[in-house]
């Protein structure tokens, strides 16, 4: 049994479990990207980088994270080193190093370029839009316009002693000081799904397979269900069908009661239709999970938690202290290991099957383009939640060959495509507007719908962009330099000339017909 001790350091709650030297510690703040807006996205990450930028870490003992709800600073070493590190972090957060601002923006741009696309984040974006947890999938648009004063002001509100918790693997060192400003604990971002008709799907051409994501209760039955789902995906997709290399399951807590559960599987492109069929078979069959399967999953979980595969005691002590700190962040009562064991034992096959059925009702599928649509997929999720706005309609410069049209009015902007589908961003739900010096304008709605208005593609397009920009609030506007010429789409001149020629011939024929009628 791991014993946890709670204390306080400079009014910051601190939890520790004895794991012996070296001392490991993590200072966590209830601040993450889900607290931001699309137009300011990236500032928590920038603050975290700035706090580290003054630090010399030749031994790579320090680390930091920013996720949806948490910013964390971690270290390991002698107690004196831990005190010195945490003191420097707190000092840097209270007085961000101005000289590093532009360099850290460039470092973050490099970090973002190296980051691979993550299907779990995409699923969150389709569920929550360009807000809250959905921001995980969005670019850090806020970095470009970030300046020191608003950053410092934001840090002073988020990185406070009331909004922080410390975990350690030994008692806090006597000389440890956490000099942080006063401030309250921040609430978790609300979970506000934007889709009301689920299950549903979108096409994902980049993650190399398919995935299914849903929200489930944070309960032992969900953990057992995740274990059962993983075992079935591996057995069917890898062992029996040999269609996938690494089926996986991800379980990420969103708040005290809710977790995001993602089932996914990769495959080679030529077998993705087969993959989606086999995945669908496994997914639908998960509605029924019997007691023997639950017992087997429970035994595997036990093996990893407390059995032969359990990590060494020191590591478990660190995990327990960290878990207690995370629960503090999530406003969740801490459950000791024995209580979790009892809940694991108490979960029945019916509890686990109920999680499966609940998941299936609210799933969003990231389908490969090759997938064959089946009833379990539900409906395609529209690219935007708002209807077409009313206002001025502009034809495409390649009309009538290209039948899409742009509509803009006092409420927003829509593009109506040739097949009748549309994408709309309303000004009342505008999350950010990107303005390029070459004239292009990109509007992104709070539902993550994106309308790109290219002056080079629409008749009177330059005037439309100008009028659209008049309606964008300054705090949502992000200015970019002109794009390279080859990155700006232009109407095909041959199509335009062809369309004009057809029109001229039609006019000439009509005139000839008219003259012939008048003459006869
Ligand atoms: Zn980073």
CATH of the domain at 109: 3.30.830.10
- Are both 273 and 417 inside the same structural domain? no
Q: Are 232 and 286 in contact (CB under 8 A)?
A: yes
Q: How many domains does the chain have?
A: 3
Q: Please determine, for residue 499, whether its predicted confidence score (pLDDT) is greater than 70.
A: no
The confidence score (pLDDT) of residue 503 equals 52
Q: With contact defined as beta carbons under 8 Å apart, do 228 and 286 qualify? A: yes
pLDDT for 3 = 94
pLDDT at res. 309: 87
Residue 27 has pLDDT above 90, yes or no: yes
Say if residue 127's pLDDT is above 90: yes
pTM: 0.91
Residue 239 belongs to a domain = yes
The stretch 56-71 carries a mean pLDDT of 90
96 C-alpha to ligand 1 centroid (Å): 16
Q: Compute, in angstroms, the gap from residue 474 CA to the centroid of ligand 1.
A: 28
% of the chain at pLDDT higher than 90? 86
Distance 14 CA to ligand 1 centre (A): 25
Cα of 51 vs centre of ligand 1, distance in Å, is 11
Please give the average per-residue pLDDT across 89-103, as a whole number: 95
Tokens 């002001």 -> residue: 153
Neighbouring CB atoms inside 10 A of 126's CB total: 24
22 Cα: distance to centroid of ligand 1 (angstroms): 25
Average pLDDT in the 211-236 region?
97
* Percent of the chain whose pLDDT exceeds 70: 95
Q: How far is the CA of 386 from the centre of ligand 1 (A)?
A: 35
Give pLDDT, residue 320: 95
* Confidence band of 518 (pLDDT split at 50, 70, 90): low
Please state the rounded mean pLDDT for residues 454-465. 95
Q: How far is the CA of 345 from the centre of ligand 1 (A)?
A: 40
Å from CA of 138 to ligand 1 middle: 15
Q: Are residues 376 and 398 located together in one domain of the fold?
A: no
Query: What's the gap in Å between 117 CA and the centre of ligand 1?
Result: 16
Neighbouring residues of the ion ligand 1, judged by CB less than 5 Å: 111
Separation of 266 CA from ligand 1 center, angstroms? Answer: 27
What distance in angstroms lies between residue 290's CA and the mean position of ligand 1's atoms?
Answer: 44
C-alpha 452 – ligand 1 centre gap (Å) = 29
Q: What is the pLDDT of residue 113?
A: 87
Give the residue among 264, 257, 299 at the shortest CA–CA distance from 279.
264
Instruction: Give yes or no: residues 103 and 125 share one domain.
Output: yes
For ligand 1, the distance from its centroid to the CA atom of residue 65, given in whole angstroms, is 7
Q: In which residue are the tokens 């839009």 written?
A: 129
Ligand 1 centroid – CA 42 distance (Å): 10
Q: Residue 57 — pLDDT band, cuts 50, 70, 90?
A: confident
How close is the Cα of 133 to the center of ligand 1, in Å?
Answer: 18
Task: Judge whether residue 329 has pLDDT over 60.
Answer: yes
Q: Please, which pLDDT band fits residue 507 given cuts at 50, 70 and 90?
A: low
**Which of these ranges, 82-91, 108-117, 152-161, 404-413, has the smallest mean pLDDT?**
108-117
357 and 219 both lie in a single domain: yes
pLDDT tens, position by position, 211-223: 999 999 999 999 9
- The mean pLDDT of 380-405, rounded to a whole number, is 93
pLDDT higher at 501 or 271:
271
| Whether 342 and 397 share a structural domain | no
Identify whether 255 is part of a domain: yes
- Domain extent, residue 45, equals 5-168
CB 14 within 8 A of CB 166: yes
> Which of 72, 146, 74, 68 lies closest to 103, judged by CA?
146
How many Å is the Cα radius of gyration of the chain? 28
CA–centroid distance, residue 108 to ligand 1 (Å)? 6
Q: 278 and 216, same structural domain? A: yes
Q: How far is the CA of 44 from the centre of ligand 1 (A)?
A: 10
Residue 510 predicted with pLDDT over 70:
no
Q: DSSP letters of 110-173?
A: HHHHHPPP-HHHHHHHHHH-SSGGGGGGS--GGGTT--HHHHHHHHHHHSSGGGEEEEESSPPP
- 265 CA from centroid of ligand 1 (Å): 27
Over residues 438-447, mean pLDDT: 97
Domain containing 404 — which CATH number?
2.30.29
CA 324 to ligand 1 centroid distance, Å: 25
pLDDT at 203: 96
Question: What spacing in Å lies between the alpha carbon of 45 and ligand 1's midpoint?
Answer: 6
| pLDDT score of 154 more than 70 | yes
* Ligand 1 mean position, distance from CA 458 (Å): 39
pLDDT of residue 54: 78
Q: What is the pLDDT of residues 174-188, one digit of tens each?
A: 999 999 999 999 999
Q: What distance lies between CA 157 and its chain's CA centroid?
A: 23
- Indicate the residue among 357, 380, 403 that finishes a domain: 380
Dist. CA 32 → ligand 1 center (Å): 12
The mean predicted confidence, pLDDT, of the chain is: 93
Whether residue 403 sits in one domain with residue 364: no
CA of residue 55 to ligand 1 center, whole Å = 14
User: Same domain for 158 and 122?
Assistant: yes
Q: How far is the CA of 126 from the centre of ligand 1 (A)?
A: 24
pLDDT at 513: 66
pLDDT-derived band at 415 (thresholds 50, 70, 90) equals very high
Separation between Cα atoms, residue 56 and residue 71, nearest integer Å: 20
């Amino acid at each position: 049994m791991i014993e946890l001790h709670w204390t306080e350091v400079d009014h910051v709650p601190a939890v520790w479990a004895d794991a012996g030297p070296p001392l490991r510690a993590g200072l966590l703040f209830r601040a993450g990207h889900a607290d931001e807006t699309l137009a300011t996205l990236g500032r928590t990450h920038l603050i975290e980088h700035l706090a580290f930028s003054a630090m010399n870490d030749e031994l790579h003992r320090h680390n930091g994270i920013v996720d949806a709800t948490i910013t964390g600073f971690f270290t390991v070493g002698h107690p004196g080193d831990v005190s010195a590190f945490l003191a420097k972090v707190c000092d840097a957060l209270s007085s961000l190093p101005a000289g590093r601002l532009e360099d850290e923006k460039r470092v973050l741009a490099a970090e973002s370029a190296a980051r691979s696309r993550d299907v779990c984040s995409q699923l969150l974006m389709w569920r929550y839009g360009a807000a809250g947890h959905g921001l995980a999938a969005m670019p850090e648009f806020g970095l470009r316009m970030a300046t020191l004063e608003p950053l410092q002001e934001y840090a002073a509100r988020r990185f406070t002693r009331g909004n922080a918790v410390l975990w350690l693997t030994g008692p806090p060192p006597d000389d440890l000081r956490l000099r942080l400003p006063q401030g309250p604990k921040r609430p978790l971002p609300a979970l506000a799904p934007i889709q009301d008709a689920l299950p549903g799907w979108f096409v994902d051409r980049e993650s190399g397979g398919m995935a299914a994501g849903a929200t489930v209760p944070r309960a032992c039955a969900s953990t057992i269900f995740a274990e059962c789902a993983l075992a079935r995906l591996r057995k069917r997709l890898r062992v029996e069908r040999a269609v996938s290399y690494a089926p996986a399951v991800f379980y990420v807590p969103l708040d005290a009661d809710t977790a995001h559960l993602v089932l996914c599987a990769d495959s080679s492109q030529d077998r993705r239709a087969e993959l989606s069929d086999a995945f669908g078979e496994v997914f639908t069959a998960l509605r029924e999970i019997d007691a023997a399967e639950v017992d087997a999953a429970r035994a595997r979980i036990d093996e990893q938690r407390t059995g032969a595969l359990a990590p060494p005691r020191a590591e478990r002590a660190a995990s327990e202290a960290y878990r207690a700190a995370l629960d503090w962040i999530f406003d969740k009562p801490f459950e000791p290991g024995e209580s979790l064991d009892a809940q694991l034992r108490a979960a029945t096959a019916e509890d686990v099957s109920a999680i499966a059925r609940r998941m299936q009702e609210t799933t969003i599928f990231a389908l490969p383009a090759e997938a064959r649509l089946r009833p379990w997929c539900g409906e395609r999720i529209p690219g935007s939640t708002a209807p077409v706005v009313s206002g001025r309609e502009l034809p495409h410069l390649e009309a009538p060959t290209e039948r899409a049209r742009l509509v803009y009015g006092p409420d927003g902007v829509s593009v109506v495509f040739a097949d009748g589908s549309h994408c709309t961003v309303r000004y009342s739900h505008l999350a950010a507007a990107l303005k390029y010096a070459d004239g292009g304008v990109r509007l992104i709605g709070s539902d993550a719908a994106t309308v790109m208005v290219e002056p080079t593609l629409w008749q009177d397009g330059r005037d439309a962009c100008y009028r659209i920009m008049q309606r964008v609030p300054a705090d949502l506007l992000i200015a970019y330099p002109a794009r390279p010429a080859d990155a700006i789409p232009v109407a095909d001149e041959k199509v335009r000339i062809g369309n004009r020629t057809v029109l001229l011939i039609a006019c000439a024929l009509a005139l000839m017909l008219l003259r012939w009628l008048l003459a006869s």
